[in-house]
Structure 1
Amino acid sequence: MLDIQNLRVRFGAFPAVDGVDLHVDAGEVLGVVGESGSGKSVSMMGLMGLIGAPGVVTADHCHFLGHDLLTLSDRERRRVVGRDVAMVFQDALTALNPSYTVGFQIEEVLQLHLGLKGRAARERAVALLEQVEIPDAARRLQAYPHELSGGMNQRVMIAMAIACGPKLLIADEPTTALDVTIQAQIVDLLLRLQREQGMALIMITHDLALVAGLAQRVAVMYAGQVVETGPVPALFDAPQHPYTQALLAALPEHNQGARRLQALSGIVPGAHDRPAGCLLSPRCPKVQPRCHADRPALVQGVRCFFPS
């Protein structure tokens, strides 16, 4: 369904996304994990065409259902993005327009992509809010985003995303800033909708436990690159890349009885301190001389000269 090769997003001289390869099959759940600044959200926004100047997006190809998303005209892109591929953003209160009711915003999507107006759009909007388990849906259509809780707003965002029956849904850390109980409800909702509608789902998250419980495959990103990808649970049982190993070693359940969680020293390289060789080399506990000189390619799902 989705095949991305050598996706790059640059802001001036800074490569925020540096040669990402990803593929997603129909009905598959792919987890994308990595620390803040690893390029998870920017890569998906590049795919959606949401990177504005001064950002520049390139790829060898970026195919979705036979369309090359990077070569579509603006008019053709609007037929695909929002209808066949949709995105749930990280902060619903920021993503929703505070000046309009949630009903107006849902109906706007229905009118733009499906041509529904008036009563038909209103009835479909009510059905969507009921589908995402918002109580008293007809009355909630008249609410403004600030009148709803964080969990409710996130459900509204999901309703807008699934309004046109997308074949691919991208969820960008959809549980950020929600309490634990609401987080579980949102995740359960997304999985239920994914199964019922048979759509593919890309889940961007920091939560490795979440990915382990819901995804079929996982892609681990670091400094704008995919450093390891593979099926769940094989990747969690036997990680090959030192960065993946460090992420898993930092989980609380792997540090029972310890005074501090295990951590990887250093920070993700920025615009002016990117090493010539492997991007993890300044932080890697298994670094060798070749790692400082050459940059590894992604081979058999691992971007490392000395996988273990």
Structure 2
Amino acid sequence: MSLLSIRNLSVDFEGARAVDGVDLTVQPGEVIGVVGESGSGKSVTMLALMGLIDAPGRVTADEIRFDGRDMLRASARERRNVAGRDVAMIFQDALTSLNPSYTVGYQIGEVLRRHAGLRGRALRDRIVQLLEQVEIPDAPNRLGAYPHQLSGGMNQRVMIAMAIACNPKLLIADEPTTALDVTIQAQIMALLLNLQKEHGMALVLISHDLAVVAEVAQRVNVMYAGQVIESRRVPDLFDAPHHPYTAALLAAIPEHNRGTRRLHTLPGIVPGRDDRPAGCLLSPRCPYADDHCRAVQPALAPYIAPDGTVSKAALVRCFKPLPHAPGADHNAIGRKR
């Protein structure tokens, strides 16, 4: 049984659809990468799962089931008990996510008081243990520090300590290394993966860094304009992408552009509220699009190879998935027209 199952999740903000019919499954202990450019709906999808979409946002879904529980029918109190305890989230910018008016020890303790009922010496000992677990030096003396007194990397470790405080079954890491230098990024990712393996947590990693996702994830969901447009296992997606947008993302990686004067780019922009196409959302930017693509929106469906073989492990939202013809030039999607 899946740890998390989401079907047809949508999030609207006064007529603007930020998430459009997303399906997502996560198995216990699995590491899933969610990639896509800014504004593709990655973070909003996870915020909707956590119950953190405020008015005027409106969340709808056919199913949100976590660990066998129907979250759509759960009361607000039941959802609050799950969020922060069984499902935890690490947000993008630790310094803006932490409360500047409270010490880091108090903020970690708030999670433990709410979900674990700890008080007094037991509470303090657990906070110190968590700070040591995320490799913060001199942990006992850091309890009274405020966020502004710590570096960006240290604040991110505090956020991780808060997230793992109650040993969640699912950890969502939303761009956990944003605004950190390269050395600290590597340390934070290594820490997250060690904690994930140690506790047996499932991990959903939201990232722009395809190299990191390729290295740590077992499965990847690619999002575009609020939709999941491809879902594959690693390394299959990186070896042979099926969706033209995925191919464009991979073509833009600097390592794939050695010897060229300019990086491959995808022309055009992501559609907004007032210019969403009637058909495939990528059709205005895709060199393979025809009249059918521009008129009818494709569903996320199993990939059908040119020889007719159906792959249920590979899902793609495209009428002309790659390779759609023998000898097709897959780099065309990344060229400026």
TM-score normalised per structure 1:
0.99
What is the CA distance between 1:13 and its match in structure 2?
A: 1.0
1:69 aligns with 2:83: no
**Residues 136-147 of structure 1: matches in 2 within 5 Å?**
136-147=138-149
1:305 aligns with 2:319: yes
Structure 2 residue corresponding to 1:268, chosen from 256, 267, 270? 270
Higher Cα radius of gyration: 2
**Post-superposition CA distance 1:222-267 (Å, at most 9, x none):** 0000000010001110100000000000001110011110000111
**Residues 242-257 of structure 1: matches in 2 within 5 Å?**
242-257=244-259
Amino acid at match of 1:2: L
Q: What is the match of residue 152 of structure 1?
A: 154
**Post-superposition CA distance 1:30-70 (Å, at most 9, x none):** 00000000000000000110000000001000100112223
Is 1:7–1:58's contact at 8 Å kept on the other side of the alignment?
Answer: yes
Q: What is the match of residue 50 of structure 2?
A: 48
CA distance in structure 2 between the aligned counterparts of 1:96 and 1:181, rounded to whole angstroms = 23
**Residues 283-294 of structure 1: matches in 2 within 5 Å?**
283-294=285-296
Q: What is the match of residue 127 of structure 1?
A: 129
Structure 2 residue corresponding to 1:175, chosen from 174, 177, 193? 177
Higher mean alpha-carbon deviation, 191-200 vs 279-288, is at 279-288
CA distance in structure 1 between the aligned counterparts of 2:76 and 2:99, rounded to whole angstroms = 22
Q: What is the match of residue 283 of structure 2?
A: 281
Amino acid at match of 1:175: T
Amino acid at match of 1:219: N
SS of corresponding position for 2:285: coil
Q: What is the match of residue 93 of structure 2?
A: 91
Structure 2 residue corresponding to 1:15, chosen from 14, 17, 21? 17
CA distance in structure 2 between the aligned counterparts of 1:69 and 1:42, rounded to whole angstroms = 17
Amino acid at match of 1:257: G
User: Where has structure 1 moved over 6 Å in runs of 4 or more?
Assistant: none
Question: RMSD of the alignment, in Å?
Answer: 0.6
SS of corresponding position for 2:283: coil
**Residues 195-214 of structure 1: matches in 2 within 5 Å?**
195-214=197-216
Task: Report percent identity of matched pairs.
Answer: 72
CA distance in structure 1 between the aligned counterparts of 2:11 and 2:230, rounded to whole angstroms = 19
Q: What is the match of residue 333 of structure 2?
A: none
Q: What is the match of residue 225 of structure 1?
A: 227
TM-score normalised per structure 2:
0.91
CA distance in structure 2 between the aligned counterparts of 1:73 and 1:155, rounded to whole angstroms = 32
Amino acid at match of 1:187: M
Structure 2 residue corresponding to 1:111, chosen from 102, 110, 113? 113
What is the CA distance between 1:12 and its match in structure 2?
A: 1.2
**Post-superposition CA distance 1:129-155 (Å, at most 9, x none):** 000000000001110000000000000
Amino acid at match of 1:117: R
CA distance in structure 2 between the aligned counterparts of 1:224 and 1:8, rounded to whole angstroms = 8
